[in-house]
Structure 1
């Protein structure tokens, strides 16, 4: 169990780095640690109870490796780590962790445009934890389904899923939740709702939710929420505010090494294309030129 505690503490350190600097910062270090230090433990000798704890802990670390790879734009590798983590979660009999990994796979599928697959994965996550569900896990899984459905323009189904997510989160009891899901709070759900309403072109509702999505403690999440707020202001026709908020996001994300962050900016830049003569847009380009992420977004495939 001491070995397992060491793996968990190390993974927690990498998770904090991922949250602060993005998946591109320490992803290779995580992979090396898993390959050289953790993998040999799986071939060791242990009792059944220790083995289950080991599989769960390594499964959590593999979920992190998958998430960091996804954030860094390494989508094929991310899927491999997710699937390996899912297998270990199943071997450990940890249905909650298995559901969480399916939820992460749903998140990635929405990002790469596989919306039907994303909704199916979110539903599988929700159904797979029947009997061991916690309100926060259910809220996250409903939110993932809402994100996928919003991208298919199924407004009614997306809003139904969001309503179910809100109802679930209202019933949460932090003491009964797995430690790794406690980050999913009202601010996180507001961020998910902001994405959904942006994607179904409900700009005002997106603005309202994005304004409640800033946690102040999760830099990358706050960056994404701020960019969604900028998108929503642009949809609403408030170019000046959209440009101001985008600059705020660039300041927030100055240290991020995240392909997803670059993609958000690339989509925003694309939306500005028809407004190149607008004075606020010209000012934004001038002020943002010094930001690394803004420069990277200019050559992003989504731009």
Structure 2
């Protein structure tokens, strides 16, 4: 695994080659995180950080130092994201705060926006949607300053999720519209590596996520629209995005339960559990809880009861 070997002695002066090494290692960790979960690469990412931070003490041109700050900010942010996925929210926030310092030092507003999005996601996951909205709104300002329509789309989509969690149907739908409009404007703009995950499929996944949230907390009728979005999404995710596909399968199973199709929910829920085999993500286990809750509510159905039991076994 990368990041676990012996690192070369840090030079007194650095150039782009050292910065590129940080960027390449970060890309490798990011791919591992997407496919296998943060638990597989969190410790290795921390080990890489311990070496990479030494580069800050070396001399270099202003251009190299700015790019180094951005590269280290991205690696630090990824370490925070893997901490979040591994179930360590306090450590995640600490890494994100350090990443923000580095991104701002490097003058990288786009990265600032991305880090604030990730901080917001931690709040959202731990049922603090109001705090999430604050982070997403701050991120929106940074994305606007960076001129990144794609990052703006990410933030608007996640604002919609936070509004849905708060039961604000109109605000959620309005934010989804803003996300779609910003995505359309992004066109052929340059896309940094840390936001390349957000393509048309991921936008559709966010729409399905928001509709599922509204179906759970506002009106079960939204489950139909959620199901339409998520059914297409799961078919388009490849093995390189195993975690995202697993999340969407969980949401899809919830939607089927809300629509009264227990048999289909049990089948899709089984697919979600199977897809997650070999993945190390505490966040996935947390995402199963609403599905387990909905299955338990329908325990008079054998399929729902067995699904709830499978989830309990998986979590254990």
CA distance in 1, matches of 2:266, 2:293: 13
- Deviation string 1:81-101 (CA, Å, 9 cap, x unpaired) is 000000000000100000100
For 2:142 and 2:298, the matched residues in 1 are separated by 47
The range that moved more, 209-218 or 56-65, is 209-218
Q: Distance in 1 between matches of 2:56 and 2:34?
A: 27
Q: 1:230 to 1:117 in 2, by over 3 A?
A: same
Match of 2:42 in 1: 27
Q: Where does residue 23 of structure 2 map in the other structure?
A: 8
Whether 1:278 aligns to 2:301 is yes
Instruction: Write the distance in 2 (CA, Å) between the matches of 1:105 and 1:122.
Output: 8
Secondary structure of 1:176 counterpart: coil
Match in the other structure for 1:203: 223
Secondary structure of 2:47's counterpart equals helix
Deviation of 1:295 after TM superposition, in Å, equals 2.3
Structure 1 partner of 2:313: 295
Please state how far the C-alpha of 1:180 moved relative to its aligned partner: 2.4
Q: Which residue of the other structure, out of 246, 250, 269, is the alignment partner of 2:269? A: 246
- Which of 246, 266, 277 is the aligned partner of 2:289? 266
Tell which deviates more after alignment, 256-265 or 211-220: 211-220
The corresponding residue for 1:227 is 250
CA distance in 1 between counterparts of 2:295 and 2:226 reads 19
- Residue aligning to 2:112: 98
Contact 1:52 1:93 survives alignment (8 Å): yes
- Pairwise CA distance, 1:132: 2.4
> Following TM superposition, by how much is the alpha carbon of 1:276 offset from its aligned partner in structure 2, in angstroms?
2.3
Return 244-253 or 269-278, whichever deviates more: 269-278
- 8 Å CA contact 1:136–1:182 kept in 2: the answer is no
Counterparts of 1:139 and 1:266, CA distance in 2: 28
Task: Give the root-mean-square deviation of aligned CA atoms.
Answer: 1.5
TM-superposed deviation, 1:285: 5.6
Structure 2 residues without counterparts, runs of 5 or longer: 1-15, 216-221
Match of 2:83 in 1: 69
CA apart distance, 1:80: 0.5
Structure 2 CA distance for aligned equivalents of residues 86 and 5 of structure 1: 20
What's the CA shift string for 1:204-244, capped at 9, x where partnerless? 11111111322224110011011111111111111111111
- The whole-number CA distance in structure 2 between the counterparts of 1:164 and 1:212 is 22
8 A Cα contact 1:250 1:294, kept in partner: no
Residue correspondences, number: 292
SS in 2 for 1:183: coil
Shift of residue 175 of structure 1?
Answer: 4.7
TM-score (norm 2): 0.88
Equivalent residues in 2 for 1:142-157 (5 A)? 142-157=156-171
8 Å CA contact 1:230, 1:246 repeated in 2: yes
Aligned-pair CA distance for 1:272? 1.5
1:296, CA displacement in angstroms? Answer: 4.2
